[in-house]
Structure 1
């Protein structure tokens, strides 16, 4: 009998056990359940869609090894690949419960990373998501972790931008009070096997109270380079903070560059926003497009490129009052997509 046959035999007869990664108890379940209920009341007045609750044994049996860009574990459940995401401390535990609350309500949107279930018996909640074959948008549009990025069609770049904007607009408008994501960046956007967007990481979301335009939070959450300046300065959170983050994300998607200090043609620049703004002012926008974005065949007309850049720059305006809403942004991007389709 071959060694692999012996291994399979022992597994079938429970003589060889898989390593137990997770452990838990009923006390954890009630503590985490209480926090989850508080989040659901705070965000959705207690309303919630149903969610599958996994046991600790379920978690341990599904882990197969390997991880995603954000350190989540790879597993298999019901014959399908899954992403198992854990949280490491009690503060993050609250964010985990918030993520469960928001992700279950957002689950009806086709461009949201689907949450399959969670385990509350562990010390801190563990979430189980669908596995997205193409990883994060970060690995798709930058040389992330040494990976060589693939070419990207112009029409696909437009579609990705619109799908992100559409999902965020839904988050802002679909519920009884606006919910701000606060974490928009390419690492929190996954792509499925067809390249469609799956917006993720709702743990840092915050809702705007009725009758208010913003809310203050003592804890600044987000990624430097994507944070709206007024939020970074004062902790004031509004829908316009997501709009700013989206503007920077759109520039990163278009250029393939980091939002921080970067080099272009062996010359060092300041921020990506400053560089693109300068190029727009002197009408040299052809220099900003990532060379891996293929514009063969139906060439992206200059008017379309200007429109995309103008949308990004208006979103990232220093004055929050000058920024459009995410609904407006999604509508403008859809109009450009229709224009591009008509030119084919």
Structure 2
């Protein structure tokens, strides 16, 4: 069958009150062939060509439910593996006229791009609803109406508008959806009455988080993925608590499936929000939505429109104007919406700009996934960052780290590092100064730690180097590592480092420890059967907790186990795994646990380089902490806050007595 033909397989009688027209479908631009259903009830199954492969569109009238199936009959659904679409109510024109008092001006809420929008009230339930009249005629208008009903019938998420029903009577097309009392984001940012209070910083970030969650759901939970293609403030509606909900799915597209990386289509959208690669080539990917999100995030931060011809020529395009300022950190505050009156956290403000800048990268592969954006935005909406505006002191010496990328995974790990390191400001986490994304180059710029990594001092120290680390320096390093982990574990939501080992513990000139390399970091709890744990554990396999390798469920207790291994390395001077030793001593944890059960063998665990210069009680207490962290059952391991409290006692000479 040709991709441009439609086959009506089954037609039964339906009530005369329902009339439904199917519009023409063109495989080049995804428009539908028109088929009219005038009478009776029907279930129509059409084969149509979408994106050069065959899909089946099955539509059941009364109530309308839609399933899109591929050649293998796998149902498109909001939840992968689900076989259910959401049933919507079919309204008559008279029913909608009744709830809006014959579409009276008193019920008119707004006049949108496609028609008038009314507020009504369902008599049966008392629910306040919105009745949206679609006035656009022709095949494109019909297609957009059908797309809206179809998309909202199988997408179900708190950050997407809830479709209640529709009306297709004669040439009339109405959508009925939930009522959002606070209107659109556009009204609060760009069309705000002078007496209305402007959005505060945390409300803006809450809105950004809601938008990101809605897009992430469409990109990664719908199967196949859905590209929104219409993100702008006027399509973001707000409930009474300022929860953001995406609306108007008339331009949405099914994302690429199988081995395809993009969808080829005509360019549609709103100028100022369209990704450059899509505008130039017509090649559409989910990263086009990420770009649009970056524009909207800039609007939230600056209060400016994406395009404003009332401003000076150089400032009319928001992205172009912001790009120039983003090159100079000292000018960042020029991007702040004057309506905020300086009431925003400095770190949070800078982080929001960093997220926007990443989303607006010219090269689409350099833009983050929406799941990574959510990680960053969740912190900005919670108020965890400091609440004063200041600029960090300049760093006279920096470290420039050029990353060797390995395909999409490498790009994602780079983006995760930038976002994670931008989130935190803690003395035991390495400070990210900046980054470079140019062509295929990915470079991180962070503070310079002159003493290098802990690995160099424990396992790669030449005899000509400085003396080995003494006991109190080792404990101070352990305390710094513990405090760094405590910081990311107590954040909201908690972050799992997942890459703790001596080579990722950097030391400043006073041997203060700083955690680095956040490329594997995850939000807790993290469980994804699709993840390749062997790939994740490639660099830190010997530090992973036993349950992680079995179940794939990662928690902060994974880091606690890894800390126990590192603490054993500090105490013993041995590597986590050393194949140069006898077979029974190659695995440090296994070898140590055999001695931790016998106090008389504790001295065998001491690094010979210490030459017995350490306090007996402190040594025994450090072993006890390590043993607790290495317990087989995750719930039996301590929290890092408890580890910090115990280690603080060991940094002084209170535990005196020399081991002999």
Shared fold (TM-score greater than 0.5)? yes
Partners of 1:154 and 1:50 in 2: how far apart? 38
Q: Deviations over 1:65-88 (max 9, x none)?
A: 313252322322233332111222
Distance verdict in 2 for CA 1:63–1:42, change over 3 Å: farther
Cα distance in 2, alignment partners of residues 252 and 223 from structure 1: 15
The 8 Å contact of residues 67 and 154 in structure 2, kept in 1 or not, is answered as no
Structure 2 residue 247 is the aligned partner of structure 1 residue 200: yes
Summarize deviations over 1:262-287 as a string: whole Å, max 9, x none: 567x7852421122122221221111
- Are residues 267 and 50 of structure 1, via their aligned partners in 2, closer, same or farther at CA, if it must alter by over 3 Å? closer
Distance in structure 1 (CA, Å) of the matches to 2:280 and 2:370: 22
Greater relative contact order structure (CA < 8 Å, 6+ sep): 1
Residue equivalent to 1:54: 91
* 1:40 maps onto 2:67 in alignment: yes
Measure, in 1, the Cα distance between the counterparts of 2:170 and 2:279.
Answer: 34
Distance 2:36 2:174 in 1: 14
Question: What is the CA distance between 1:316 and its match in structure 2?
Answer: 1.1
TM-superposed CA distance for 1:231, in Å, is: 1.2
Q: Displacement of 1:261 after TM fit?
A: 4.6
Structure 2: distance between partners of 1:225 and 1:333: 22
Closer/same/farther in 2, CA of residues 238 and 160 from structure 1, 3 Å limit: same
Q: For residue 138 of structure 1, what is the aligned residue in structure 2? A: 186
**CA deviation map 1:84-117 (0-9, x unaligned):** 112222321221121112112223x112211111
2:345 is equivalent to residue 300 of structure 1: yes
Which residue of 1 is the match for residue 129 of structure 2? 82
Instruction: Provide the secondary structure at the position in 1 that maps to 2:169.
Output: coil
* Conserved? CA contact 1:181–1:204, under 8 Å: yes
1:325 aligns with 2:325: no
Distance in 2 between residues matched to 1:294 and 1:82, nearest whole Å: 36
> Structure 1 CA distance, aligned partners of 2:235 and 2:336?
22
In 2, Cα distance between equivalents of 1:248 and 1:126: 30
CA contact (8 A) 2:76 2:224 kept: no
TM-score by length of structure 1 reads 0.82
Q: Which residue of 2 aligns with 1:31?
A: 36
Query: What is the match of residue 256 of structure 2?
Result: 209
Number of the residue aligned with 2:318:
272
Matching residue within 157, 173, 176 for 1:128:
176
Deviations 1:285-309 (A, max 9, x none): 111111222554xx412x2211111
Mapped to 2, the partners of 1:26 and 1:54 lie a distance apart of: 9
Conserved? CA contact 1:139–1:147, under 8 Å: no
SS in structure 2 of the partner of residue 274 of structure 1: helix
1:244-277 Cα distance to aligned partner (Å, 9 max, x none): 111001111111111225567x785242112212
Unaligned runs of 5+ in 2: 1-15, 22-34, 38-42, 47-56, 60-65, 78-83, 102-106, 388-660
Which of 62-71 and 234-243 deviates more?
62-71
Give a deviation string over 1:22-65, Cα, whole Å, max 9, x none. xx954437837858746732695485211111122211111243
CA RMSD of aligned residues (A): 2.6
Contact 1:97–1:125 (8 Å) recurs in 2? no
User: What's the TM-score, normalizing by structure 2?
Assistant: 0.44
Partner of 1:68: 110
- Cα separation, 2, equivalents of 1:203 and 1:42: 20
Counterpart of 1:183?
Answer: 230
Secondary structure of the equivalent of 1:31? strand
1:91 equivalent to 2:119? Answer: no
| 1:10 alignment counterpart | none
Q: Residue 98 of structure 1 aligns to a residue in which SS? A: helix
Q: Bigger radius of gyration, 1 or 2? A: 2
Cα distance, 1:329–1:28 mapped onto 2, change above 3 Å: same
